[in-house]
Amino acid sequence: MRFTEEHKRRISEALKGKPKSEEAKQNMRGTKGRTNLHCKGKNRPEISGERHPKWKGGITIRQGRAFLRIGSKYRLRSRVVMEGLIRRPLLLTEIVHHKNGKTLDDRPENLEIVSRARHNQMHIRNLTGK
């Protein structure tokens, strides 16, 4: 049986404010109450991070650079690799330079530690060709 729009409106008006049946409540799940089991990971911490089926090892690429998830924070992978090589944390004044210019190439032989001033000079020289 098909209802006209007028008939649907009258039914809706008549039911406003009345308690919903259990069946109606079950049908509403997953909408406003977010009780659906397939909602975003924020609501299901038991399947976030390493336990999530789409986990990619904590590596993400943003703005052409690789970041590693360490604990709850993301760090540049090149800095983590360099810190492992020199066996100490890098200072804030130390910059990790990629010798071949490819920021996703974090092989130890492609990385070197330079100061910010030296790093700027290297890139200005590359741009001007001097």
The residue extents of the domains of the chain are: 77-128
Does the pLDDT value for residue 88 go beyond 90? yes
pLDDT score of 98 more than 60: yes
In the predicted model, what is the mean pLDDT of residues 80-103? Answer: 93
Q: Identify any residues that bridge with 77 across adjacent strands, giving them in sequence order.
A: none
> How high is the pLDDT of residue 130?
60
Q: How many CB atoms lie within 10 A of CB 96?
A: 21
Q: How far apart are CA 6 and CA 114, in angstroms?
A: 74
Q: How many residues does this entry show for the chain?
A: 130
pLDDT, tens digit, 9 for 90 and up, residues 33-84 = 554 445 554 556 667 677 777 777 788 888 889 999 888 888 999 999 999 9
- Examine the pLDDT at 129 and tell me if it is beyond 70: no
Q: Do residues 112 and 99 touch, judged by C-beta distance below 8 A?
A: yes
Give the global pTM.
Answer: 0.57
- Span 16-24, average pLDDT: 72
How confident is the model at residue 39, as a pLDDT? Answer: 52
Whether the CB-CB separation of 74 and 67 falls below 8 Å is answered with yes
Distance (Å, whole) CA 6 – CA 13: 11
Looking at residue 57, the DSSP 8-state letter turns out to be T
Tokens of 108: 């130890």
For residues 90 and 14, the model is more confident at 90
Give the integer Cα–Cα distance in Å for 89 and 83: 5
- The mean per-residue pLDDT over the stretch 106-125 comes to 91
Tokens of 98: 């990629």
Dig out the tokens for 67 from the structure.
């970041």
pLDDT, position 43:
59
